[in-house]
Chain A
């Protein structure tokens, strides 16, 4: 026999109780794994935002377009190193469920401002030369089996073509990669000029501007200078850092972080009570046996350790499989939602965080009964105090 076997034997005394407790822990960590992955995916853009990049949108709303003239004026603002712009296309491929994150951009300046977008040099040249060209993210290429040279018909849920249809034809000229995990490759971009000339209305408007400043220290001053420039005009602006913009974008849907934290918190609080109760009961039922172990020479420290390890084992038995199942669920979710969400992945950070919570839960739920076990009066527990 080994200590591990002793732990296992103690743990499996009441199999139904063990199963139910493990299942509760499993559920809590499954919720944690999936929701944290979702939260991480939503916040990825915020976390990876460039420190020296600003975003200018309409002060009224993110979806309110800005006049193209803003682009030229902002370019001339002091402290601005480079400017580009983008417009939301709202496209899908073949059917609405294949929704794609698609943008009309000023290609050259856009690629300059986002150096993390990696494209082979020849593809970049071809894309810049072809007004109908489209740059497609690696993940989309894998999903739809597109290849360079393919004609890609996209349907916009917003923009009508001059011929009255909503179908826009592009030609795949390049595939961009996520070299440093800083850009969502489940997206595509094409030339603003082609889009602007082709659309039936709202010509010469742009969605938002991306500004690269001379230095991150100038961000505040440049933001103010830009917004002051357009103050009291029909198209007032709101300029934020890229990170703040990303955060504000997410907050349109409500405070997702708070919702996720609340759900995960409730799940953990419940599991703390369930696992804690299981351990307290399990140890209380064994008062006599713990007293016997003390008579055999098991020290208080050893008994404390055994009980805490038992609680840890209980939590790990529920938690680790939950992380495995979370991974499968995240993969399934990725396939189901297509390009509708930023890239989801059960990252090492989430795994480490989950394991840290498991350890904490083990210590907390094992600590109290272990402390009580240490305080057991051997003579009283054995019923031998009665003189």
Chain B
């Protein structure tokens, strides 16, 4: 049975003005992403992959068109509405992990939970579970500088899903990792889709990484070309 559309882009255009010149990223773009999909977005540099992720995550706004999430227009939200919406629905994973250097792994993972009403003990419980999912319970008290890139990315994944968002947006999550570690990270993302019902969208240059996705989108010259996994 086909699942309900979770994210819908309708006629979305995005233009930047740089040095008084208008740069068109995409024009009248349409896209539907359903719940529990694992989507890889590929394309050449400058095709607008990251901008697409920013628009879906509500940290950038379209020049025109509509972006709906679960049937609700998010492109019309105010900044404070977007903050609340992001806290509840979106988890970001970045290429360079972006962990807080002065916080331990556990404290980094706990950070989004400060926005909830969970008690300290409940938060600690959640953190323990999240770290066990990414197999890093023994690194809970380690600082980012004391961990490898792969471990830091796993902490970042735990931080992204700890508040139970519907969608994980990953910008080149394996771009800074070796092949073996990259595969481990991608398997964790697959686990998120399979066992935890998350929708995962990754932007990648790496065709090997894209193979882990159930759906591949090629973005080029402002248009999508789609290929589904076998």
Contact = CB atoms under 8 A, between A and B. Distances in A.
Nearest to B46: A387
Interface stretch (B48-56, B66-74, B146-154, B194-202): B48-56
A297 B160 CA distance: 11
Contact of A297 (B107, B115, B120): B115
A296 B114 CA distance: 10
A298 B115 contact: yes
B83 A300 contact: yes
A10 interface: yes
A16 to B, nearest CB: 15
Contacts of A295: 57, 59, 86, 90, 92
A386 interface: yes
Given A1-B103, A10-B102, A296 B111 contact: yes
Contacts of A382: 94, 98
A10 B171 CA distance: 26
A144 interface: no
A297 B86 contact: yes
Interface residues of B, number: 41
Contact of B112 (A297, A378, A385): A297
Contacts of A300: 79-80, 83
Interface in A283-303: 288-289, 292-302
Interface residues of A, number: 29
The winner among A292, A294, A302 for most chain B CB atoms within 10 A is A292
Interface SS of A by simple majority: helix
A2 interface: yes
Interface in B9-52: 16, 23, 25, 45-48, 50-51
Interface in B67-126: 79-80, 83-84, 86-88, 90, 92, 94, 98, 100-103, 106-107, 110-112, 114-115, 120, 123
Contacts of A299: 79-80, 83-84
Contacts of A10: 102
A9 interface: yes
Contact of A379 (B48, B54, B79, B112): B54
A289 B144 CA distance: 14
B60 interface: yes
Interface in A345-386: 378-379, 382, 384-386
Contacts of A302: 83, 115
Interface in A226-263: none
Given A296-B112, A296-B115, 19 more contacts: A1-B106, A2-B120, A5-B107, A6-B103, A6-B111, A9-B107, A294-B59, A295-B57, A296-B111, A297-B87, A297-B112, A298-B115, A300-B80, A378-B54, A378-B59, A379-B54, A384-B50, A387-B25, A387-B47
Interface of A: 1-3, 5-6, 9-10, 12-13, 288-289, 292-302, 378-379, 382, 384-387
**Nearest 6 A/B pairs, CB to CB:** A297-B87, A299-B83, A378-B59, A295-B92, A9-B102, A297-B86
